[in-house]
Chains A and B, each alone.
Chain A
Amino acid sequence: MSAIALEGIEKSFGATRVLGGVDLDIRAGEFLTLVGPSGCGKSTLLRILAGLEAPDRGRVLIGGAEVTGLRAAARNLAMVFQSYALYPHLTVAENMMTPLKLRDLPRAARLPVLGPLLARDRYRALRAEVDRTARILKIEPLLDRKPGQLSGGQRQRAALGRAMVRNPVAFLMDEPLSNLDAALRVHMRAELSELHRRLGTTFVYVTHDQAEALTMSDRMAVMQDGAILQTGAPEEVYADPDSLDVARFVGSPAINILPGRIDGTGGLGALGTALGRFRTTDAQKVAIGLRPEHLSLAPAGASGFEGAVRHRENLGADVFLHVDVEGIDRPVVLRTTPTETRDLAIGAAVGIDADARAALVFDETGRRLRFEAAELVRIA
């Protein structure tokens, strides 16, 4: 059973259509990432799910019940915002207690000063709840500080704490890591994944960073221009993209796109080099996607593709070589090892070896072509 379902969600702001009929099923307990370039509508979709925005058309269901018209607070979802959105005038403990107070206490007990005196036991119970959550997140020493006195990572945890105390049906996260520095971001990725495993609650996570989507999610939904292009496990989306846009968006460094064609006999060729043969007779222009790890270095003159080294991007374990190849605007990026490229100078002529079996072929509109291959060769 799906925990959350979005059916035919449409939304426009003025004349701009932000979401055009989005359908999405989110399974109970999964970590689902909505990923896409900025402006693709992913945040709007999350806000519609949260109840902060009303869809123009379509339905939102949580646990099988329709909540489209329900107030945000009544949906029992918790949200973590990019800017953390902690109340600046309250301490971390008070921040975390706010949603509990609003949910559990009657109006009279929420009065300032008087409230805590009237309902002392209840306040103690809430405080215990806050302490329990703080222990999980290891933020107990921060409870009496105000958000202004915390570092970015600490604020992030406090915001998580405020979301966690209510035991929500699902956590909604809107780019929660993008305000952190790079090292902390990588660390928090692991921590969020662990938290997800530990809580077993549904996470819906919005990001523009495909690396976050790949590293953390059970499933990811790639969005563009107000539509979901593909939904699937990260490995599946990475290895088997349905469209050129998805292939381009997922993976870093980005996939290499070579202009190619399929001739009347099904022969696939790019830049004058034959890559293999498909069982098809439709001659057409195609785009061939080859990821950097499917290309390797070859001696100059020994293979079909040749170019000049333009840039050497050293990441320590891997070296990404940017090679200018005639006939393509962008340099081709290939993954190599430091030992292979130690003696390569900028401008040196190199050959590129491609594993055609890993090539992803797209038609002119960017749709993936899945032909049965008669023979695909490893160009060497």
Chain B
Amino acid sequence: MADVGQAAFRNAAPRAVDGASSGGFRFSTREAIKHAVLILGALIVLLPFYVMVSYSFKAPHEIMQNTGGFFGAQELFRDDFCIKLGNAEEDCMVRPLNYNYTTAFEKAPLIRYLANGVIVTVSIFLIQVLVALPCAYALAKLRFWGREAVFGLVLFCLLIPVHAIALPLYIMLAQLGLTNSYAALIIPWTISVFGIFLMRQFFMTVPDDLIDAARMDGMSEYSIVWNVMLPTAIPALLAFGIFSVVAHWNDYFWPRIVITGNRDLFTPPLGLREFKGDADGDNFGPMMATACIIVTPLIVAFLLAQRRFIEGITLSGMK
């Protein structure tokens, strides 16, 4: 709008000025292109979700032949596995929707996996906060020799991909005998440089006066971190929490490495593997149903925290 207005002034042509000052809705090519690109992007992102949800409703033959639209016909079909167990054919006729979602829960201990996911992500997040807040506070508000260098290292660590250090990490954990334990899932992630960085940036915006006031009131530095900085940093913490929880809830790579035998420790993404082609062939319906169940908590959490999430990302929660 401003661009068009300025152009109109520059041209000083009455026609252009009329066009710019008509008010209300005005078609702008620039805005239209922006939105078209964004819509296209959104479609590309949403397509796999569409497929996932759709498949979780459909019968196997509909999935294979790509028929049945979004919901599938929901006709009864024969569950071959049920027949194999020696049941009569009429007992083994199932509705695709029921079949997919009940199988998801029956074939794998999905509840257990979800519980594991909660234990792991919540522990990781809490310990990350425990570490990141004092670090961020020191980097943002305390003056000490080498502070900039330490912050430089934090930035440097942001550049290291997890996969590059996965092997040494695994070996260390194996030497300590910690593989196949919650500890193996949690410990490597407890120090989050991203968390330190994000919270440090947020703490930079907290006025120094507030900290000095707390010192005058008699708070120790740790007390300042937990009683003053933490409450003011809730928006940023929520944003970080979403990053952290999403990343570790969805993580397939690391649990796949350190959880080798014990299925009781599987996290939800590992649970997906249960449906992956064994002798019976791939079983996409229940697999997609599992996937739907796994992503639902995250999507709900995001929708609930959406506003604060955006606030935290823009770091504008505080004035």
Contact = CB atoms under 8 A, between A and B. Distances in A.
A102 interface: yes
B228 A73 contact: no
B260 to A, nearest CB: 43
A186 to B, nearest CB: 24
B231 interface: yes
Given A87-B228, A89-B231, A89-B232, A77 B216 contact: yes
B215 A85 contact: no
A99 interface: yes
B212 interface: yes
B207 interface: yes
B90 interface: no
A99 B218 contact: yes
B216 A98 contact: no
A200 interface: no
B213 interface: yes
B187 interface: no
A73 B212 contact: no
Which bucket holds chain A's interface residue count?
20 to 34
A54 to B, nearest CB: 11
B91 interface: no
Given A82-B209, A85-B210, A85-B213, A102 B232 contact: no
A79 B208 CA distance: 13
Q: Which of B214, B232, B318 has the most CB of A within 10 A?
A: B214
Contacts of B210: 83, 85, 87
Contact of B217 (A51, A88, A99): A99
Given A87-B228, A88-B232, A89-B231, A102 B217 contact: yes
Contacts of B213: 79, 81, 85-87, 162
A299 B151 CA distance: 70
Interface string B121-137: 00000000000000000
A230 B215 CA distance: 31
A73 B223 CA distance: 13
B231 A98 contact: no
Contacts of B231: 87-89
A82 B213 CA distance: 11
A86 B231 CA distance: 13
A103 interface: yes
A106 to B, nearest CB: 13
Nearest to A74: B218
Given A83-B207, A85-B207, A89-B232, A98 B217 contact: yes
A52 B232 contact: no
B216 A78 contact: yes
B313 interface: no
Which bucket holds chain B's interface residue count?
10 to 19
Interface in A109-146: none
Contacts of B219: 73, 102
B216 A50 contact: yes
B11 to A, nearest CB: 41
Interface string A31-69: 000000000000000010011100000000000000000
A82 to B, nearest CB: 7
Interface string B228-259: 10011000000000000000000000000000
Contacts of B232: 88-89
B225 to A, nearest CB: 14
A79 B232 CA distance: 21
A72 interface: yes
A77 B219 CA distance: 14
B222 to A, nearest CB: 12
A170 to B, nearest CB: 12
A159 B226 CA distance: 21
A113 to B, nearest CB: 14
B228 A79 contact: no
A221 B88 CA distance: 101
B209 A83 contact: yes
Contact of B209 (A81, A89, A98, A102): A81
Interface in B254-268: none
B218 A52 contact: no
A83 B319 CA distance: 12
Contacts of A88: 231-232, 318
Nearest to B215: A72
Nearest to A166: B217
A102 B207 CA distance: 22
B216 A52 contact: yes
Nearest to A47: B212
A73 B209 contact: no
Interface string B300-319: 00000000000000000010
Contact of B212 (A85, A89, A99, A162): A85
Contacts of A98: 217
Nearest to B211: A85
Q: Which of A78, A85, A86 has the most CB of B within 10 A?
A: A85
A350 B214 CA distance: 59
Nearest to A84: B209
A88 B217 CA distance: 15
B212 A102 contact: no
A73 B207 contact: no
Contacts of B318: 88
Nearest to A75: B216
A103 B228 CA distance: 17
Contacts of B212: 47, 50, 52, 72, 79, 81, 85
Interface of A: 47, 50-52, 71-73, 77-79, 81-89, 98-99, 102-103, 162
Given A73-B218, A85-B213, 13 more contacts: A52-B215, A52-B216, A79-B216, A81-B212, A83-B207, A84-B209, A85-B212, A87-B213, A87-B231, A89-B232, A99-B218, A102-B217, A102-B218
Interface of B: 207, 209-210, 212-219, 228, 231-232, 318
19 contacts: A47-B212, A52-B216, A72-B212, A72-B216, A73-B215, A73-B218, A79-B213, A81-B209, A83-B207, A84-B209, A85-B213, A87-B210, A87-B214, A88-B231, A88-B232, A88-B318, A89-B232, A98-B217, A99-B217
Closest 9 CB pairs of A and B: A73-B218, A89-B231, A85-B213, A102-B218, A85-B209, A99-B217, A81-B209, A85-B210, A83-B209
